[in-house]
Amino acid sequence: IALLTSIMQITRNLTTEGLRMNRKVSKAIFPVAGLGTRFLPATKSVPKEIMTLVDRPLIQYAIDEARAAGIEDFIFVTARGKSALEDYFDVSPDLEAALESSGKNDLLEILRSTNMESGAVAYMRQHKALGLGHAVLCARKLIGDEPFAVILPDDVIAAEKPCLQQMVEAYQETGGAMVATMEVSPAKASSYGVLDIRSQNGPIVSVKGMVEKPPLGTAPSNLAVIGRYILTPQVLANFDQVGRGAGGEIQLTDAIAAEVTAGRDVFGYRFEGQRYDCGSKAGFLQATVAFALARPDLRDEFAAFLTEMHSVKQAAQ
């Protein structure tokens, strides 16, 4: 009996280890090929992802979050006019040498912390902005047969434990496909993908359907999909059956919803943290204020300025 018990234990351990291996998430896709029309005219020449919150471009926050979650391969789906983004990931030997020789070691350290290892970054082109789903599909050849993450850099999430790391940890237990989710007001639900909820267990939501941009008043819940995903190659295969969806675009939500239809698991993950929609002007400005106030070197001066602005505005009313 003792022998049988230890064989069963070993089998269980091997199965758990096998699942862990299958659920290792080491690749992330960053779709950055959108037109960014809400930021025109700036986005005529500056990619939205290069716009800065205080002194770091949006894309840097996304990279840092991916690294914290154990991502090793970074796949950018880019487009015409995004070369500033590709340049950003090159090392800058001249700048590094100048900072070194002038003894600006703190700046040198900041600069070096943004360097990417050779071979860790790949670029795929999306020739036409046909939608987020299409952008993700453009990276299909680089994904192979393992789960992968998708990060939308214009959703910036301030959190003690980075959002993708929270999800990767939860994913070890759940498998399936997973999307980040948060509550939004009924009025805003029609701007998002929305979850149809089967059941909830703490932060994990079992999903029985998903709708992209439901018309006002028809959303199946108040849980919206936010720009962090852990997906399987099967989701990419679903695009063979998925046509154009909401807004005439090829929607990622529809390919994930096809998983539910096929009887496979899809989960929402209610992350802890504050999300800023930096794809919109109001969200970008809110993030700028929040991130500036969180910086010890700026906090006091900036808070005093905001207080003064507030008093001036109140006096004028």
Binding site for ligand UTP (CB under 6 A): 31-38, 48, 77, 126, 129-132, 134-135, 152-154, 279
Nearer CB in complex with ligand UTP: 37/201: 37
Nearer CB in complex with ligand UTP: 66/292: 66
Answer positive or negative: Cα dihedral of 49, 229, 67, 121: negative
Answer positive or negative: Cα dihedral of 288, 290, 291, 294: positive
How many alpha carbons lie under 13 Å from residue 74 in its C-beta half-sphere?
24
Query: Min. distance of Cβ 27 from ligand UTP in angstroms?
Result: 17
Nearer CB in complex with ligand UTP: 80/310: 80
Q: Rounded CA gap, 43 and 35, in Å?
A: 8
Query: Min. distance of Cβ 39 from ligand UTP in angstroms?
Result: 6
Query: Min. distance of Cβ 176 from ligand UTP in angstroms?
Result: 23
Nearer CB in complex with ligand UTP: 124/292: 124
Nearer CB in complex with ligand UTP: 35/306: 35
- Helices 58-68 & 163-174 angle (0-180, nearest 10): 40
Query: Min. distance of Cβ 47 from ligand UTP in angstroms?
Result: 8
Q: What are phi and psi of 171, to 5 degrees?
A: -65, -30
Nearer CB in complex with ligand UTP: 170/182: 182
CA-based nearest residue to 120, from 169, 76, 62, 183: 76
Fill in the amino acid letter for 122. A
Q: How far is it between the farthest Cα atoms of the chain?
A: 84
Query: Min. distance of Cβ 32 from ligand UTP in angstroms?
Result: 5
DSSP string of 249-313? Answer: S--HHHHHHHHHHTT--EEEEE-SSEEEETTSHHHHHHHHHHHHHT-TTTHHHHHHHHHHHHHHH
Query: Min. distance of Cβ 172 from ligand UTP in angstroms?
Result: 27
221 CB contacts (<8 Å, ≥6 apart)?
Answer: 194, 195, 196, 197
Query: Min. distance of Cβ 79 from ligand UTP in angstroms?
Result: 7
Nearest residue relative to ligand UTP (C-beta) = 34
Residue 215, preceding peptide bond in cis (omega within 30° of 0)? no
Nearer CB in complex with ligand UTP: 34/174: 34
